[in-house]
Chains A and B, each alone.
Chain A
């Protein structure tokens, strides 16, 4: 029974829903039932990781010494709940105004990614970043790998 339960949850973590209608509104509190489809889904979290670079987040938030805030250090200024982190991204970045510039679905993915960051070993984060070294970061691009 335990195996079946593990297997059943394992499936949904690996699910890859491509092209399905995304959420159109921000999360309603930290218990919004739509959260699981993002937070517990490896594909959505990894998509959040890609947008993290493309929207320029990794320009300021990385584990290099000159970053602004290290998001992997489990210190949450505005709270760890899904809606709280979502709000921090969308509304607490001052002039960057990510809530207006980043579509809702991508904000969900970014939130899921950010909340997932501290659960990985630093080697894994470095390894993933090494593979994504040639991806554009916001308005800058270093050239192909």
Chain B
């Protein structure tokens, strides 16, 4: 069915955002919200990178007095907290927000206003931490703030509370985003996209969302317990009063370990999509890939103690957690096999996204293997809290999540903007980033083995650590320069890139069926799917289904396993309530740093905002069993 201009006109009137500032604030278009998330996260990545360069500069020479210890401690705390809570997880959520409806042939997410709300709340968390930094009250206790150092006796003031509330912001935002993504993937798939025909990318986003929902409560609980200890004198973590310091670590890492897989699993989704398209064959081992993602998601909840091997826990657990931590290499390794097998039996094209995937394999596998080394409870006693671990987690997070993210950015950039990024500058940026990263972080494995601990603002002369630190600094600087080239490429291509058309890469999944950039309503008609790679099927034009109303916002809800159409659901229009509710929540969270009364009083405010949000818009029924008859 070819869309006709009157249809386009009607859909556009229904789905487009109001113009100007009002449209900006009230939009519920998942693509605009995702773009905001991504821009904010990239800006924070840049700021965190500047902190990192500052720290690396400090460590270039021994006994350096350029940075005071207070400033350095604030820097690594801010760098870690920003990258882990404010960049990595949100940017993966953002990619899900942006791509999931497009890949499902849907017009919006399941809960559009909730999506807007989660962005504003995330922004609240960003501002909480970074405005505190601007006011020079940066939290300085690391990205995890262990008590008793973070308790009231050894951390006076509110720095630790600012950190803890930033966590609460971002975790509530993450929970909202995950519920949204999971509901969309489970209930809004196009007819014919049974679970067996769901692309690996969507499986990855679904599993990551479920993991978020299961793990976030632990960190919200533990940071609230910490604030309670500091503000209302509970004794959760105070051994002198009957509490337990290790309880904090258990609860924190119960969240902390799944979190890193929440960051990694969406990256496996990116890699799967890119490998399929650029190998020009359907992914090998679809079932293996899906089962690997599910088993990584499940296993990730049973490994947290490997962050605590040096704490002195009973030995009985050592072998179990060692075996479990190593076992997760099996599904991860099989995924790598499947991707390489796809390339082996396909016809690889070496455009920039594919090069990022190759960089991912080269880099992430090193990180995974250093992780296998630290998985041993015994060997970890030498490796933990040294630069070996710094090397390990940067290899898995940068190599395993950021490289696929950059590849995904290049891959889907044409879909978002209608332009192609420059291939030449993309490759230059890649060489800078990947080469600089490896030059910068590989020496850290050796530094850790040579005895250099973490979180030190300087080190003595004569330890033999000088040269490797200098190489690490040089590599980091090169990497950041590469990053600047990448960002410049992205910005300049927005205005000067070659027009891309709807499907520049001959992609396999549904997002390539919409225009580039996709209009607010994504698709004129609902696609009907018969295989895992609908865009590669023989039938042209694509089979579609009609029936969604065009004069008001509506989406199609289908069943969970078979994607059989069930009913049409009204989809929310642009609304002021998400930002109002986010403001109410922000006021409560920030005020509760200073007084516990903020919790009951703030709840009243939030209740008012939610009442406005959920105020029923439908008129009362006049007929039917509940009708008023009149």
The answer to whether A and B touch directly, with their CB atoms under 8 angstroms apart, is: yes
Q: Is B187 an interface residue (CB 8 A)?
A: no
Q: Is A13 an interface residue (CB 8 A)?
A: yes
Residue of B nearest to A46 (CB): B156
Question: Is the Cβ of B137 less than 8 Å from the Cβ of A14?
Answer: yes
Question: Is the Cβ of B68 less than 8 Å from the Cβ of A127?
Answer: no
Residues in B neighbouring A11, C-beta threshold 8 A: 135-137
Q: A11-B137, A18-B68, A123-B233 are in contact. Are A128 and B158 (CB under 8 A)?
A: no
Chain A binding surface, main DSSP class: helix
Q: Give B330-359 interface residues, CB cut-off 8 Å to A.
A: none
Whole-angstrom distance from the CB of B231 to the nearest CB of chain A? Answer: 9
The CA-CA distance from A124 to B229 in the complex, in Å, is 9
B240 CB contact (under 8 Å) in A42, A123, A133: A133
The CA-CA distance from A88 to B239 in the complex, in Å, is 34
Q: Is A2 an interface residue (CB 8 A)?
A: no
Q: Is A19 an interface residue (CB 8 A)?
A: yes
Whole-angstrom distance from the CB of A110 to the nearest CB of chain B? Answer: 15
Q: Is A5 an interface residue (CB 8 A)?
A: no
The CA-CA distance from A7 to B162 in the complex, in Å, is 14
Residue of A nearest to B140 (CB): A16
Q: Please report the total number of A residues contacting B with Cβ < 8 Å.
A: 27
Residues in B neighbouring A45, C-beta threshold 8 A: 156
Whole-angstrom distance from the CB of B147 to the nearest CB of chain A? Answer: 8
The CA-CA distance from A39 to B360 in the complex, in Å, is 54
Question: Is the Cβ of B240 less than 8 Å from the Cβ of A14?
Answer: no
Question: Is the Cβ of A127 less than 8 Å from the Cβ of B157?
Answer: no
Question: Is the Cβ of A18 less than 8 Å from the Cβ of B70?
Answer: yes
Instruction: Please encode chain A, from 6 to 26, with 1 for each CB lying within 8 Å of some chain B CB and 0 for all others.
Output: 010011011110110000000
Q: Is A73 an interface residue (CB 8 A)?
A: no
Question: Is the Cβ of A131 less than 8 Å from the Cβ of B151?
Answer: yes
A43 CB contact (under 8 Å) in B151, B157, B240, B241: B157
B153 CB contact (under 8 Å) in A16, A123, A131: A131
Residues in B neighbouring A133, C-beta threshold 8 A: 240
Q: Is A74 an interface residue (CB 8 A)?
A: no
Number of A-B contacts (CB under 8 A): 65
Q: Is B603 an interface residue (CB 8 A)?
A: no
The CA-CA distance from A15 to B158 in the complex, in Å, is 11
B157 CB contact (under 8 Å) in A13, A128, A130: A13
Q: Is B159 an interface residue (CB 8 A)?
A: yes
Q: Give B131-154 interface residues, CB cut-off 8 Å to A.
A: 135-137, 140, 148, 151-154
The CA-CA distance from A132 to B55 in the complex, in Å, is 32
Residues in A neighbouring B233, C-beta threshold 8 A: 121, 123-124, 126-127
Residues in A neighbouring B159, C-beta threshold 8 A: 14
Residues in B neighbouring A42, C-beta threshold 8 A: 156-157
Q: Give B206-245 interface residues, CB cut-off 8 Å to A.
A: 229, 232-233, 235, 238-241
A7 CB contact (under 8 Å) in B135, B140, B148: B135
Closest 9 CB pairs of A and B: A130-B240, A46-B156, A131-B153, A123-B233, A133-B240, A130-B241, A42-B157, A14-B137, A42-B156
With contacts A43-B157, A126-B241, A130-B239 known, what are 20 further pairs, Cβ within 8 A?
A: A11-B135, A14-B136, A14-B157, A14-B158, A18-B69, A42-B156, A49-B153, A123-B233, A124-B152, A124-B233, A127-B151, A127-B229, A127-B235, A127-B238, A127-B241, A130-B241, A131-B153, A131-B154, A132-B153, A145-B239
